[in-house]
Amino acid sequence: MNRQRKAKLKGMTDKILKNKYVWTATFAVAAAAVLAVLIVRACEAAEQSGIGITTDQQIDLTPQQIERIKDIGEWEFLAVVDEEMVDTVRRGLFSDDQLVRIYYGTVRLGINLHQVSPGWLTLDGDSLTARLPPIGLLAKDFIDEARTRSFHESGRWTAADREHLYRKAYRRMLAHAMTPDNLLQARQNGEQHFRSLMNALGIRRLRIEWEQAE
């Protein structure tokens, strides 16, 4: 008899617990449905009243950030490695003297941000316009004199003669580096680097203009 009562009591308990779980789940579903309806009605009311949710797209660059960008100073966008063999001949009565020297250099092209014009950065909402200096020569002393060597030398030559060859090699290297193709490549590299910098500052819409070389 006790066993029957216990079994019956256990069955009633299980049924009560089962009904409790069902009612709990039902209540949760109903509450979620009511909340969803309230949210929809609130959004509709906001639309009808002209109230909307907007995202502020305004960006800003502080004077301190602009100064830090300018502090980059010289920014290299292209390096042109060159080797030049130049010579000079001095005619003599019985024989000619000749001096042949080989020069090595690296011509570096880029911009100097210390030379930007006033108002070179202009913000308009979420867009930035940057006006950059023209691509130019970063370092004038680009010949590595430590690597310069004489390929052939006959006769006696002065320091002025060697200086003459140095200037000749200098002009050749400069002419080979400052070609339209190299200047265009340096400008494209510069735009890529500058865009990466601005993207890191949170600026996505960027227009780059280049000043004309004098």
Per-residue pLDDT of the chain (214 residues; tens, 9 = 90+): 444 554 444 554 454 444 444 434 444 444 444 444 444 454 454 445 443 433 345 566 788 888 999 999 999 999 999 999 999 998 877 778 899 999 999 999 999 999 999 999 998 888 899 999 999 999 999 999 999 998 888 888 999 999 999 999 999 999 999 999 999 999 999 999 999 999 998 888 999 999 988 7
Question: Is residue 209 within 8 Å of 129, Cβ to Cβ?
Answer: yes
- What's phi and psi for 104, nearest 5 deg? -120, 140
CA distances in angstroms from 159 to 79, 144, 166, listed in the order given: 30, 17, 10
Task: For residue 158, give the 3-state DSSP assignment.
Answer: coil
Cα–Cα distance for residue pair 149/163, rounded to 1 Å: 13
- Give pLDDT, residue 20: 42
- Give pLDDT, residue 11: 52
Q: What residues contact 183, with CB distance under 8 A and at least 6 apart?
A: 109, 135
- Give pLDDT, residue 41: 52
- Give pLDDT, residue 27: 41
Candidates 171, 71, 194, 183; CA nearest to 135 is 183
Q: What residues contact 79, with CB distance under 8 A and at least 6 apart?
A: 106, 107, 108, 109
Question: Is residue 77 within 8 Å of 49, Cβ to Cβ?
Answer: no
Q: What is the pTM of this model?
A: 0.68
Candidates 147, 173, 145; CA nearest to 159 is 145
Strands (E), the chain: 74-90, 97-112, 121-124, 127-132, 136-137, 149-153, 205-210
Cα–Cα distance for residue pair 110/142, rounded to 1 Å: 14
